Chains A and B, each alone.
Chain A
Amino acid sequence: MATKVVERKPLNLAERSYLPQIVGGLKITFRNMWKPPVTLEYPEQRPNIPDRYRGVPTLVKDPNGREKCVACQLCEFVCPPRAIRIDPGEIPEDSEHAHVEKAPREFKIDMLRCIYCGLCEEVCPEEAIFLQDTFSVNGLSRAELVFNKKKLYQLGGTLPDSHYKWDKKRDAAEKGGDEH
């Protein structure tokens, strides 16, 4: 391979005095002084959270107000730090959401253990748990930082649904067919 020897010229007097370089540096910093700040003034200004951001895990409801979680406990099993605890329960026959197999009686995520890996969201067959855009979690006690079902739904809110899987099931069951 051909190599090219770069000639190193000895520094001249001005260069050895560093002064032209110092003046150059001063010019750069002076120009920078007049640029607008690149920082956010945090509590008032919030950063733009991109879609797919992995914030606090939350439980969501579908647009009809039905809780999507069916207490299958897959997230509980997949959770690497074992932050999730689910207490599964029955749905009573006379409920408007009957025909859904199960619902969690209690759903707890220990935010002191959660590592925001997103495996629970990935594994959920019902698209019920999402890591949304809340990034700041604080509390005054350990107990306060174990989020219960109420808190998780409060954080999660409602997300659009394209399937309405259980509604279809219920309609089918009420028509008396045996497709399912």
Chain B
Amino acid sequence: MDPGQLIIFLLKAVAVVLAVMTLAGYTVLAERKVAGWIQGRTGPNRTALPILGAIPVVGTFLRRLGVFQPLADVGKFLFKEEPFPGHVNKLYYLLAPALAFIPAMTTVTVLPFGQHDGAPLVLANLDIGILFILAVSSLGVYGIILGGWASNSKYPFLGGVRSSAQMISYELALGLSILPVFLWTGGTLNLHAVVQEQTHVWFLFVQPLSALIFLVALFAETNRMPFDMPEAETELVAGYNTEYGAFGFGLFFLAEYTHIIIGSGVFTVLFLGGWNLWLPFPEGIFGAVLSVLVFLAKVLCLVFFFIWVRWTLPRFRYDQIMNLGWRILLPLALANLIFYAIAIAVIDRVL
């Protein structure tokens, strides 16, 4: 690979990573805003930048919307003193947030987010795309377990243990629920191929049960509300990140929201037709931008759904989560797989 190509590649990678991190930051804001609206509050609406905030109408509007809040949050996380509890294993304590964050960001590489004249816009168009995502994103749990364990404190430890149990339970249903999708696309694991298959009909309408199981498992994998066992504020103080502050906590936080965005992205690619909108995109750069915007809009709707569910449902009890995962979702996913395997075989024979 010649240096010019390499630089372009690096620039692309940096751009995508920056975009995802910005999105994660603003997802935090969205969470706070939506939580406020649902609970009859206003949410963050005070932070303002010196010059931008002083523009008469626009500045006030942005300030009321809390658009500058993530900047203040990031500034706080970066410049706060790093607390270092005396009773922790320093190496693992420092390693854990990075270990939670890196897998979350790594999965972005294989996620196609648009098209340019029929070719996918993606950092690495792997043939094993979905396998890579499943494998790497589940590594994120090591960060949580390590964080809980290295904190050397009982509540974080319980959070970590719960997290590992939950991840293992739902990983199975997660994997099994999307197999029918790949059976339908003819055995390829490439995500771009999955999107192209949905040019006319989204898989959400072809395989609603797969989509439902995947969505539920996704909620569990991202530690979101009905399944937020590792955090469970009312039971475990703050869960696995109780002993963390400043930047370490910031990384855990960012990793969590990155997981939500990536999870939404994967769901969009698999079940919501990626960037397809039943209409062919125009040629050239305009079509490319349009496809990215459509994809982003779908992802953001899903992110909103994640937030919406969080402020609607109460938390499951721990044994209920295990019950749901092993005794309901797993058999359901298996039955779903067998049903679609037979159905696809029959359709192939008949047509």
Show the binding face of A for B, using Cβ within 8 Å: 22, 25-26, 28-30, 32-35, 37-39, 41
Contacts and interface: CB of A to CB of B under 8 A. Distances in A.
23 contacts: A22-B309, A22-B312, A25-B313, A26-B308, A28-B312, A29-B311, A30-B308, A32-B39, A33-B34, A33-B37, A34-B37, A35-B40, A37-B36, A37-B40, A37-B41, A37-B42, A38-B40, A38-B41, A39-B40, A39-B41, A39-B42, A41-B42, A41-B45
Nearest to A28: B312
A22 B37 CA distance: 19
Nearest to A17: B328
- The SS class assigned to the B binding surface is loop
A29 B308 CA distance: 8
Contact of A32 (B40, B42, B309): B40
A27 to B, nearest CB: 9
B159 to A, nearest CB: 25
Contacts of A38: 40-41
A28 B40 CA distance: 12
Nearest to B212: A19
Nearest to A25: B312
Contacts of A41: 42, 45
B131 interface: no
B38 interface: yes
A144 B37 CA distance: 40
A26 B40 contact: no
A30 B34 CA distance: 10
A39 B41 CA distance: 6
By size class, the interface of chain B is 10 to 19
A28 B312 CA distance: 8
Interface of B: 34, 36-42, 45, 308-309, 311-313
B312 A26 contact: yes
Given A39-B41, A41-B42, A26 B36 contact: no
B156 to A, nearest CB: 30
A32 B38 contact: yes
Contact of A26 (B34, B39, B45, B309): B309
Contacts of B40: 32, 35, 37-39
A159 to B, nearest CB: 37
Given A29-B311, A34-B37, A35-B40, 9 more contacts: A22-B309, A25-B312, A26-B309, A30-B308, A33-B37, A37-B36, A39-B40, A41-B42, A41-B45
A75 B41 CA distance: 42
Nearest to A33: B37
Nearest to B328: A17
Contacts of A25: 312-313
Contacts of A35: 40
B188 to A, nearest CB: 32
Q: Which 3 A-B pairs have the closest CB atoms?
A: A38-B40, A33-B37, A29-B312
Nearest to B311: A29
A41 B36 CA distance: 13
A25 B225 CA distance: 14
A58 to B, nearest CB: 32
A16 B41 CA distance: 33
Among A28, A33, A34, A41, the most chain B Cβ lie within 10 Å of the Cβ of A33
A22 B313 contact: yes
A4 B38 CA distance: 40
Contacts of B42: 37, 39, 41
A33 B38 CA distance: 4
